[in-house]
Structure 1
Amino acid sequence: MQSQALAFLLGVLVLHSLPHLPTLAWVVVCLAVPLFYRFMPLARWPAIALLGFSWALLHTHLVAGPWLPAGLSGQDMTLIGVVDSLPEALDRGVRFGFRVEGRADGMYDPDERLPRRVRVAWYGQSPDMVPGERWQLTLRLRRPTGFRNPGGFDYEGWLFRQGYGATAYVREPDSALRLGMDDRPIHRLHRLRADLVERMGQGLDGRPYAGILRALAVGDRSGIAPEQWTTLIDTGTNHLMAISGLHVGLMAGMGYGLMLWGWRRVPALALRLPAQRAAVIGALICAAGYAALAGFAVPTQRALAMLVVALGALWLGRVARPGRTLALALLVVLGLDPRAVLDAGFWLSFAAVGVILYAMTGRLQRPGGIRAVLRIQWVAGVGLLPLTLVMFQHGSLVSPLANLVAVPWVSVVVVPLTLGGVLLAPLIPWAAQWCWLAAHLAVSLLWPLLEHMGSWPWSLWRAAPPFWTLWPALLGLALILAPRALPARWLGVLLLLPMLWPARPSLQPGEFRLTVLDVGQGLATVVQTRDHTLVYDTGPRFSPRFDAGSAAVVPYLRHEGRGRVDRLVVSHGDNDHIGGAPAILDSLRVGEVLSRSPERLPHALSRECLRGETWQWDGVTFRMLHPPPGWGDDNESSCVLHVSGPGGSVLLPGDVERLGEAVLVRGEGEGLSADVLLLPHHGSRTSSSEALLDRVSPRLALVSTGFENRLGHPHEETLERLRVRGIPLLDPAHEGALRVDFVPGEGVIVQPGHRHAARRHWHR
Structure 2
Amino acid sequence: MSSKQTYRFPFAQYPAVRIALLMVGGILIGDQSEIDLSVLLTVFGLVCIITLLLDHLNKKRLSPNIKRFSTLLFLSSLALFGWIRMELSEQKTKLLIVQTLTASPWSEAELEGTIEQISRTASGKPRADITILETSLESGAFSKEEYKIRLLMEDGEFKQGDNIRFSGTVIPVSEKRNPYQFDYRAFLDQREISVQIRLDSLISQSKNNNARTWNWWRVRALKLIDQNFSKETAPVAKALLLGYKQDLEGASKQAFARAGLSHIMAVSGLHVGFIIAPFWIIIPFFWSKKYGRISGLILLILILYSYAGLTGFSSSVIRASIMAGLLTFGKLFNKSPNSINLTGVAAIGLLIWKPGQLFEIGFQLSFSAVLIILLVLPIIQNALPYWLRLRWYAKPLMVVIVSIVVQLGLYPIQVFYFGEVSLISPAANALFVPLLGLMVPFALGCLIISTAVPAFAATLIFPVEIFLKGMNAFVGFSSGLDWAWVETSLPSVLLFPFWAALIFFIASWRIPLIRWKWLTVSMFFFCVILSESVINKLDNRELTVTVFDVGQGDAALIQTPNRKNVLVDAGVWSPGYDSGVSVILPHLKEAGIERLDAIILSHPHADHIGGILSLIEEIEIDVIYNSGYEYESNLYRNYLELAEAKNIEVKSVKAGDKLNVDPALIMLVLGPEGEKFNNDPNQHSVVLNMIYEESEFLFTGDAGEDQEERLLENYGELLDTDFLKVGHHGSRTSSYSEFLEEVTPEIAVVSLAERNRFGHPHAEAIQRIQQTGTELYFTSRDKALVFISDGKRIWRKEWE
Q: Aligning the two structures, in what range does the TM-score lie when normalised by the shorter sequence?
A: 0.7 to 0.9
Correspondence 1:323 to 2:353: no
2:337 is paired with a residue whose SS is coil
What do residues 382-430 of structure 1 show as CA deviations (whole Å, max 9, x unaligned)? 22223434454444444334333343344433x3465356435544555
Match of 1:237 among 261, 264, 279: 261
CA contact (8 A) 1:379 1:481 kept: no
Q: In structure 2, the residue corresponding to 1:744 is in which secondary structure?
A: coil
Structure 1 residues 366 and 469, CA gap change in structure 2 (3 angstroms): closer
2:546 to 515, 533, 540: 515
The Cα of 1:619 is off from its aligned counterpart by 0.5
Q: Could you list the per-position Cα deviations for residues 117-146 of structure 1 after superposition, in whole angstroms to 9, with x for gaps in the alignment?
A: 2211121xx441233433332212123224
Maintained 8 Å contact 1:255/1:285: no
- Between the two proteins, what is the percent identity of the paired residues? 22
Cα distance in 2 between the residues matched to 1:410 and 1:307: 18
Give the equivalent residue in structure 2 for 1:442.
467
Partner Cα distance (1:360, 1:510) in 2: 46
- Residue 314 of structure 1 deviates from its aligned partner by 4.6
Q: Is the Cα–Cα contact under 8 Å of residues 209 and 216 in structure 2 kept in the other structure?
A: no
Q: TM-score, normalised by structure 2?
A: 0.81
Match of 1:164 among 176, 193, 208: 193
- The DSSP-based 3-state class of the residue aligned with 1:166 is strand
Which residue of structure 2 aligns with residue 31 of structure 1? 45
Partner of 1:670: 717
| 8 A contact 1:133–1:178 mirrored in 2 | no
Distance 1:681 1:287, change over 3 A: farther
Residues 1:366 and 1:74: Cα distance change in structure 2 (over 3 Å): same
Counterpart residue number, 1:52? 82
CA contact (8 A) 2:579 2:611 kept: yes
- Provide the rounded CA distance (Å) in 2 between the counterparts of 1:249 and 1:71: 47
- The 2-side partners of 1:323 and 1:118 are apart by 37
Q: 1:607 aligns with which of 633, 637, 650?
A: 650
Report if aligned partners of 1:256, 1:280 keep a CA contact under 8 Å in 2.
no
In structure 2, do the counterparts of structure 1 residues 669 and 211 end up closer, same or farther at CA, with 3 Å as the change threshold? farther
* 1:335 pairs with 2:352: yes
* Partner residue in 1 for 2:598: 567
- The answer as to 2:250 corresponding to 1:190 is no
d(CA) in 1 for partners of 2:734 and 2:373?
61
SS at match of 1:84: strand
Question: Counterparts of 1:135 and 1:128 in 2: how far apart (Å)?
Answer: 11
- Residue 275 (structure 2) pairs with residue 251 (structure 1): yes
User: Which residue of 1 is the match for residue 114 of structure 2?
Assistant: 82
Note if 1:646 corresponds to 2:693.
Answer: yes
Q: CA deviation at 1:162?
A: 1.7
Aligned to 2:367: 350
TM-aligned CA distance change 1:433 to 1:100, over 3 Å: same
Does structure 1 conserve the Cα–Cα contact (< 8 Å) formed by 2:210 and 2:216? no
**Alpha-carbon deviations, 1:145-191, whole Å to 9, x = none?**
244333332211111112211112123x3xx31154565668x5435
Instruction: Describe the SS at the equivalent of 2:153.
Output: strand
Partners in 2 of 1:438 and 1:48 — Cα distance? 51
- Where structure 1 has 5 or more consecutive residues not aligned to the other structure, the ranges are 758-764
Show the counterpart of 1:155.
184
Cα separation, 1, equivalents of 2:180 and 2:473:
30
1:471 and 2:467 aligned: no
- Do structure 1's residue 697 and structure 2's residue 744 form an aligned pair? yes
Letter of the 1:45 counterpart: L
Structure 1 counterpart of 2:151: 120
Provide the rounded CA distance (Å) in 2 between the counterparts of 1:430 and 1:668.
Answer: 82
8 Å CA contact 1:96–1:121 kept in 2: the answer is yes
Alpha-carbon distance in 2 for matches of 1:483, 1:351: 19
**Count of equivalent residues:** 734
Q: Is the 8 A contact 1:537 1:578 kept in 2?
A: yes
Question: Distance in 2 between the 1:373 and 1:93 partners?
Answer: 39
CA gap of 1:587–1:309, structure 2 versus 1, over 3 A, is farther
Q: 1:251 to 1:626 in 2, by over 3 A?
A: farther
Q: Identify if the C-alpha distance between structure 1 residues 607 and 128 changes in structure 2 by more than 3 Å, giving closer, same or farther.
A: same
Q: Does the C-alpha gap of structure 1 residues 470 and 87 become closer, same or farther in structure 2, counting only changes over 3 Å?
A: closer
Partner Cα distance (2:246, 2:512) in 1:
47
User: Quick one: which amino acid aligns to residue 525 of structure 1?
Assistant: A
- Tell me the alpha carbon deviations over residues 606-650 of structure 1, each in whole angstroms, 9 at most, x when there is no partner: 424322332231411223333334657844443333322125222
Q: Which residue of 2 aligns with 1:375?
A: 401
Taking a change above 3 Å as real, the CA distance of residues 727 and 56 of structure 1, as seen in their structure-2 partners, is: same
Q: 1:5 maps to which residue?
A: 20
Structure 1 residue 458: Cα displacement? 6.7
Distance in 2 of aligned mates of 1:90 and 1:194: 23
After TM superposition, the structure 1 stretch with the greater mean CA deviation from structure 2, 44-53 or 30-39, is 30-39
Q: Retained in 2: the 8 A contact 1:621–1:643?
A: yes
Matched with 1:729 is: 776
Aligned counterparts, 1:460-609, within 5 A: 460-483=486-509, 497-498=526-527, 503-504=533-534, 505=536, 511-529=542-560, 530-543=562-575, 547-595=578-626, 599-601=637-639, 602-603=642-643, 604-609=647-652
Partner-residue secondary structure (3-state), 2:357: helix
Equivalent pair of 2:729/2:752 in contact (CA under 8 Å):
yes
Q: CA deviation at 1:698?
A: 1.7
Q: Letter of the aligned partner of 1:60 in structure 2?
A: E
| Partner Cα separation in structure 2 for residue 231 and residue 547 of structure 1 | 21
Tell me the distance in 2 between the aligned counterparts of 1:201 and 1:575. Answer: 40
Greater CA drift, 599-608 or 447-456: 447-456
Q: What's the secondary structure of 1:72's corresponding residue?
A: coil
Larger Rg over CA atoms: 2
Q: Distance in 2 between matches of 1:114 and 1:720?
A: 47
What is the distance in 1 between the residues matched to 2:714 and 2:670? Answer: 9
Equivalent AA in structure 2 for residue 620 of structure 1: L
Displacement after TM superposition at 1:528 (Å)? 0.8
So what's the TM-score if we normalise by structure 1? 0.85
Matches of 1:32 and 1:96 in 2, distance apart? 43
Equivalent position of 2:788 in the other structure: 741
Residues 699 and 196 (structure 1), Cα distance of their counterparts in 2 relative to 1, 3 Å cut: farther
* Matching residue of 2:670: 625
Q: Is the 8 A contact 1:513 1:741 kept in 2?
A: yes
- The offset of 1:253, in angstroms, is 2.7
Alignment correspondent of 1:762: none
Could you report, residue by residue, the CA deviation over 1:516-555 in whole angstroms, capped at 9, with x for unpaired residues? Answer: 22333333321111221112233334556x6332232122
Distance change (3 Å), C-alpha of 1:103 and 1:46: closer
Q: Give SS of 1:319's match.
A: coil
Distance 2:544 2:146 in 1: 40
Matched, 1:271 2:289: yes
Structure 1 CA distance for aligned equivalents of residues 205 and 710 of structure 2: 61
| RMSD value, Cα | 3.7
AA aligned opposite 2:448: L
Q: 1:412 to 1:688 in 2, by over 3 A?
A: farther
Whether the 8 Å contact between 2:101 and 2:195 is mirrored in structure 1 is: no
Question: How many Å separate the matches in 1 of 2:172 and 2:335?
Answer: 50
